[in-house]
A and B are shown apart, each in its own frame.
Chain A
Amino acid sequence: MIEMQCTSKGNSLIVSLVGRLDAATAPVFDRKFQEDVISSGGKHVVLDLSKLVYISSLGLASVLTGAKAINQQGGEFVLCGLGGMVREVFQMTGLATVFKVFNTAEAAIEGH
């Protein structure tokens, strides 16, 4: 199961994920992210993963694909709230150094 909640703060759009981003839920995330974030023209997107409890390679591919789309339309895509296995998986794959990562959504907005 995956839930996605979007909250606007100033010029930033905080996209919070709750649940698991895996083979079963990545297609759901892809569709929602396209509809609610990319199509809305989000310019500074903060993907908050603090309530994400599990991510697999297909989930990582979805996050990377979303980031590429935001960057291609001239926006900025950052991550925050990596913890537990999610943090370990980002570190194992080297993706923790590919993205700009903040501890909290507030820090991500301030860092913009």
Chain B
Amino acid sequence: MKDIEPNSLAWLERAATWESFSELHGFVIDGARAARLADDKLWKLELVVEELVTNVIRHGYPPGESGVVRVGYSANLTGEFLVQIRSGGLAFNPLLKDNPDPIVDIAHRSVGGLGIYLVKSIIDEIDYNHSEGINIISFRIRI
């Protein structure tokens, strides 16, 4: 997916903070609704965008360091909805994160680590690149 031309996407950039989350998330989801993404795919897109954006907010920048996150989307003519998420900070590929533990005992089950696992479960093809100090995650979903 390195062929995605940034100028072909609609973009929104905000501070990588919890206050920005709803606006960033809503920007992409409104775009998907306008592109008439099917309902059974819309919730999957909502979930994937939420997990990736919150991952940047939580882990994208070192404590005390502020930064931004950019979300972009495009509905192309071949019936695909493209999404790209860009952030600064250190090079970090969240897709390499280990899967959550399979423990079924509530007391010992970890409460974290499920977000990226959900992303990988839902999206077949998702790319991570680090270029010129920018972390870039790209994926597409058929409309």
* Chain A positions near chain B (C-beta within 8 angstroms): 22-24, 54, 56-58, 60-61, 64-65, 67-68, 71-72, 77, 84-85, 89, 92-94, 97-99
B18 to chain A: which residues have CB within 8 Å?
23
Q: Is A57 touching B43 in the complex (CB atoms < 8 A)?
A: no
- The smallest beta-carbon distance between A16 and chain B, in angstroms, is 21
Q: Is B54 touching A68 in the complex (CB atoms < 8 A)?
A: no
Q: Is B111 touching A64 in the complex (CB atoms < 8 A)?
A: yes
**Which chain A residue shows the least CB distance to B119?**
A57
Q: Is A92 touching B118 in the complex (CB atoms < 8 A)?
A: yes
* Chain B positions near chain A (C-beta within 8 angstroms): 18, 21-22, 25, 43-44, 46-47, 50-51, 54, 57, 100, 102-107, 109, 111-112, 114-115, 117-118, 121-122
Cβ-neighbour of B111 out of A23, A61, A85, A94 (below 8 A):
A61
Q: Is B46 touching A24 in the complex (CB atoms < 8 A)?
A: no
Give 19 pairs: A residue, B residue, CB < 8 Å, sorted on A.
Answer: A23-B18, A24-B21, A54-B43, A54-B47, A56-B47, A57-B54, A57-B115, A58-B54, A61-B111, A64-B111, A68-B111, A71-B107, A77-B106, A85-B47, A92-B121, A93-B100, A93-B117, A94-B100, A97-B104
Cβ-neighbour of B21 out of A23, A65, A67 (below 8 A):
A23
